[in-house]
Structure 1
Amino acid sequence: MTNVFISLPVTDLERTKAFYTALGCAINPEMSDENGVCVVWDDNVYFMMITREFFATFTEKPIVDPKVSLQTSASFALDSREEVDAAIAKGLAAGGTEPQPAQDYGFMYSRDLDDPDGNSLGFLYMVPAGEQGAEAPVAAAPVATASDVTS
């Protein structure tokens, strides 16, 4: 199995740890130091959240500010619309923002979440093959707010 490491620039490592642990991720202390934090999404997916200054040592290219420019978005397929909504609610409660309304195409339900630094995460649910058409498309679903979180 291939492990995936996604490196993203951040400005505050403690805030980053708090945000991603609120989403249910673990922190790998063996791969974390004052320059970055290893966020364990699952057994094969890791986010290397690296301070902007240290991140810049890996490239001659300018490091974009994710609050104003989108360089990349990591998306995760979940098992239900409810899991998508729950992930967004946890992220909003932990200081994230939802940059646009939910997208509901009938066969796919998708919501985006920006972490406190503006790095973009997507959460989606794909209706299983054969069940497509069971859910009618909607232009935009209601957006959860931090006050909607009950857990």
Structure 2
Amino acid sequence: MKKKIFKIINKAKNQDGYVEFFFTIFVFCFLISILIAIAPPFITREKVSIITRKTVEKVEFDGKVTPQTYTFVDNLINKANLTSKNPKYSFTGNIRPNGKIQLRDEFHFKINVTEKIKLTGFDATDINMPIQKELTGISEVFYKSSEL
């Protein structure tokens, strides 16, 4: 690679390869700009995966979904700077009306965010990419029938 670059520069010194040299620099800058434009959805996807995993672990350990659980998720979303990406999340499964989940009962946590990919500086070319993650957990807490 290094030899190839020096070969192109030497052609440019001979005044035969200026166009090729500038075209190579242009293509390199273009590829870097595409990489910068495409990287945010992958970063957001990883942040969403971490939030999902931490939330499911907390609910499995606590054995219930309470207002404190929703506050916990909101705090994770704020720490990950995802509030501008329109996050929506929900809990489903074998959750009792009081929020308790019996031992070995399954529940699902689902979160959706929308990542905007900007290919140019204009809003007309923005692409809204939905990112969704769902994880299933199993409660680790046993409740007596009188507690349910």
More helix by share: 2
Q: Larger RCO: Structure 1 or Structure 2 (Cα < 8 Å, ≥ 6 residues apart)?
A: 2
Structure 1 length as normaliser, TM-score?
0.31
User: Which structure has the larger Rg?
Assistant: 2
Structure 2 length as normaliser, TM-score?
0.31
More strand by share: 1
